[in-house]
Structure 1
Amino acid sequence: MNDFSSFLAFPLEMIPYVVITLIVAFTLHEFAHAFVAYKFGDPTAQRQGRLTLSPLAHLDPIGTILIFIAGFGWAKPVPVNRFFFKRPRLAGVLVSVAGPLSNLLLALLGTAIVNILYVSGLLTMLPGNYAEQLELFFSLFVSLNVMLFLFNLLPFPPLDGYRIIEDLVPAHIRSKMTQYESYGIVVFLILVITPLDSYTIHPFLEIGRTIVMSIIHLILSPFF
């Protein structure tokens, strides 16, 4: 019998932690997009039931499954109609940034909770190996949210980083980007699913994670 765990991107014993983390991370990420768009006057996501913290409204079955197999995936994109925005470029940037920032805030919150547990001594009061498992969960929770923050800022379609650039560049460049967007998606997929990932996206994510974690610890250092 083949070992099913050999097809997974994460150790089998960590799958429950990954599931919980992704449900929270994907849901808040997409809700953040919908919420900011709604605040800027676009009711599209709200009308389609996406202005909610219910995971069922945001999780994409295939995108979620691929996280476990390939190490990357996606949630259902939030529909945004720029024509409702009074200042389309500013609103567009803020709507796109909202998703990754939600993951950064989750990483900050997860780190803060771990520090609180250490300082209060609550970890030492837990029976058995519960303390070790709790530490493992929050370590994964923080790490995955930092990676989602960085990954979504990559300048490739259909990621948020690409959408941010679209709204920052002049209109004539934006039209060119739209024209070649399908090629950008192909390039992005090649970089992600081939060994080229080891020389392009992966080093960026690893360096970025080190920098982001240092910043998080620096922010929290006055409190712990």
Structure 2
Amino acid sequence: MESFLAFPLEYIPYVIIALMIAFTVHEFAHAYVAYKFGDSTAKDQGRLTLSPLAHLDPFGTILIFIAGFGWAKPVPVNRFYFKNPRLAGILVSVAGPLSNLVIAFIGMAMFVVLASTNVLSFLPVYMVEGLEQFFTILINLNILLFIFNLLPLPPLDGYRIIQDLVSANTRAKMTQYENYAIVVFLILVITPLDQYTIHPLINNGMEIILTLFNLILSPFIAK
């Protein structure tokens, strides 16, 4: 019987750990940058924390296991407190996806160090296989979230970035049709259309980023 899950059952524990790290750091980064620019809304609502319970969104989390991508609970941001709303808004929006890219790179670097120093040779085979599976999922999941969240569709960060780049009139029009755009986004995510739209973008992006990471870390990779 074919599983409806995006991951094999034996990988689920690794996915859960990687997911908690990815989503928690992503939303914390949004909250932290917003707080640094003068908006304490997220902090006041208990979102300036590294506790996964404060950030996980039920539907977005379940979707990760079914579709392979999802989202966390959005961090509340009040642009009224920003001295420069456009710049602050862009940096707050970028902070989340960028944190996922950093986690992915750190994860790959850590595994390269472990492999290059022969530490893994002292561990049982099952532990080595477990570490390989965990780091592979951690790296791929975070790169996926980096790319996915930069898509220019609401409610993703890429859409918020575009809102802060366009004129006030264009922003108002975007807000007017935002609910319809969210419906389009959900259709693309939960129907087979994602195989022709979102998936190709993510797969190509992941390949490019992994190639770049390998180039950067190649001097440290054991031959």
Q: TM-score, normalised by structure 1?
A: 0.95
Q: Aligned-residue CA RMSD in angstroms?
A: 1.3
Q: 1:222 deviation in Å?
A: 4.3
User: Which of 26, 34, 37 is equivalent to 1:37?
Assistant: 34
Q: Does 1:167 align with 2:181?
A: no
Aligned partner letter, 2:61: T
| Aligned residue-pair number | 221
Q: What runs of 5+ residues in structure 1 fail to find an aligned partner?
A: none
Hey, what does 1:63 align to over in structure 2? 60
The 2-side partners of 1:121 and 1:138 are apart by 16
User: Which of 36, 43, 46 is equivalent to 2:43?
Assistant: 46
Higher relative contact order (CA 8 A, sep 6+): 2
Contact 2:42 2:75 in 1 (8 A): yes
Hey, what does 1:20 align to over in structure 2? 17
Question: What fraction of aligned residue pairs are identical, expressed as a percent?
Answer: 69
Aligned partner letter, 1:21: A
User: Which of 127, 134, 139 is equivalent to 2:136?
Assistant: 139
Q: Does 1:115 align with 2:112?
A: yes
Aligned partner letter, 1:25: A
The 2-side partners of 1:25 and 1:60 are apart by 13
Hey, what does 1:211 align to over in structure 2? 208
1:180-191 matches, cutoff 5 A: 180-191=177-188
The 2-side partners of 1:192 and 1:10 are apart by 17
Q: TM-score, normalised by structure 2?
A: 0.95
The 2-side partners of 1:71 and 1:115 are apart by 25
The 2-side partners of 1:69 and 1:174 are apart by 33
Aligned partner letter, 1:37: A
The 2-side partners of 1:66 and 1:197 are apart by 13
Could you list the runs of 4 or more consecutive aligned residues of structure 1 that deviate by over 4 angstroms after TM superposition?
Answer: none
